[in-house]
């Protein structure tokens, strides 16, 4: 067994892994020497990656607090990542104990770590699934147990959409989720961008490629990310760098400049019902 209690034979420690590298950026312990070495090379090249990862995580916290304080009681969190406290359900339950959270990730490494940390409460579930196949996610038995589609749902796609390439139609994918959710549901997105640091993003992508890290990264512009909210009204302040989204501590202007991640929450509009002809 590894020090995380995961069967060793399931863990490939011969090459760096994106979820474990992200864990390292966040100061976590669920990573191996090979991940730390690759992540450190990235940090040496673009220290802002750490600033962005931590700002993103803090956005997740504020977003979940906002949702639960607004009355949301069920959350689907796709692209969970290796558990990092406070996780979505811990944040939600700090506001209201009755929130149900379904976690989804397509990475068996995340699945191997999900156990005790994500499933402790009875109101949570985790399953392996690929967000690019909305039907298989929406029809999964764990979703059936935890989520009532007659009530508003919050769908979290936090720091995960940039792993979906344009030719995989991320807009169509989000529309499929949107159409399954009742009006009044919320969509939370955070997304990496090169709007502020084009060259650094290219350098980081180059290191990922060189190290054999298997993750496509599609940084997107403000207007491209905004288009994902089709059918949703944006909650104030709209789509902004995550540090600027309803900060609850004093803003560090240096952090804002260095954060290459956009974030927003949208609320699904009531669709217009066609008036029938008599």
List residues near ligand SAM by CB under 6 A: 19, 22, 56-57, 60, 78-81, 104-107, 110, 130-132, 158-160, 163
Q: Are 52 and 258 in contact (CB under 8 A)?
A: yes
Long-range contacts of 252-259 (CB under 8 A, 24+ apart): 255/51, 255/55, 257/196, 258/47, 258/48, 258/51, 258/52, 259/48, 259/51, 259/52, 259/55, 259/196
> In this complex, which beta carbon is closest to ligand SAM, that of residue 111 or of residue 152?
111
Cis amide prior to 149 (ω within 30 degrees):
no
Rounded least distance, CB 220 to ligand SAM, Å: 15
Whichever of 56 and 259 has its CB closer to ligand SAM, that residue is 56
Angle between helix 18-25 and 108-119 (nearest 10): 50
Neighbours of 103 (CB within 10 A): 28
Q: Of all helices (H) and strands (E), which one includes residue 209?
A: helix 198-210
Q: Which residue is closest to ligand SAM by CB?
A: 81
End-to-end CA distance of the chain: 70
Q: How far is the CB of 271 from ligand SAM (least distance, A)?
A: 27
Nearest-approach distance from CB 216 to ligand SAM, in angstroms: 9
CB 132 → ligand SAM: shortest distance, Å?
5
Tokens of 30: 């669920």
Name the residue nearer to ligand SAM (CB basis): 136 or 151: 136
Nearest alpha-carbon partner for 194 in 211, 178, 218? 218
In terms of CB distance, is 67 or 183 closer to ligand SAM? 67
CA dihedral 195, 40, 37, 126 (to 10 degrees): -60
Residue with Cβ nearer ligand SAM (30 or 107): 107
Cβ 278 to ligand SAM, closest distance in Å?
47
Largest CA-CA distance found in the chain, in angstroms, rounded: 71
In the complex, the smallest distance separating the C-beta of residue 146 from ligand SAM, rounded to whole angstroms, is 17
Q: Which of 28, 231 has the CB closer to ligand SAM?
A: 28
């Amino acid at each position: 067994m590894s020090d995380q209690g995961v069967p060793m034979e399931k863990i490939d420690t011969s090459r760096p892994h994106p979820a474990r590298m992200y864990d390292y950026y966040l100061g976590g312990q669920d990573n191996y020497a090979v991940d730390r070495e690759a992540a450190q090379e990235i940090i040496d090249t673009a220290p802002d990656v750490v600033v962005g990862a931590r700002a993103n995580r803090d956005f997740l916290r504020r977003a979940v607090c906002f949702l639960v304080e607004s009355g949301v009681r069920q959350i689907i969190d796709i692209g969970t990542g290796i558990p990092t406290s406070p996780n979505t359900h811990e944040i939600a339950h700090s506001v209201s104990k009755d929130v149900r959270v379904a976690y989804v990730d397509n990475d068996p490494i995340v699945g191997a770590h999900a156990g005790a940390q994500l499933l402790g409460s009875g109101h949570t579930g985790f399953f392996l699934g690929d967000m690019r196949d909305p039907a298989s996610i929406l029809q999964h038995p764990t979703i059936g147990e935890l989520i009532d589609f007659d009530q508003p749902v919050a769908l979290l796609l936090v720091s995960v959409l940039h792993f979906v390439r344009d030719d995989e139609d991320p807009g169509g994918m989000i529309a499929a989720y949107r159409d399954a959710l009742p009006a009044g549901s919320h969509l939370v997105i955070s997304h990496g961008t090169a709007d502020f640091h084009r060259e650094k993003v290219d350098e980081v992508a180059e290191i990922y490629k060189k190290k054999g890290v298997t993750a496509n990264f599609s940084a997107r512009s403000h207007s491209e990310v905004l288009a994902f909210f089709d059918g949703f009204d944006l909650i104030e302040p709209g789509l902004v760098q995550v540090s600027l989204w309803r900060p609850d501590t004093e803003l560090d202007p240096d952090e804002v400049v260095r954060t290459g991640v956009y974030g927003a929450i949208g609320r699904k509009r009531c669709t217009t019902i066609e008036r029938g002809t008599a």
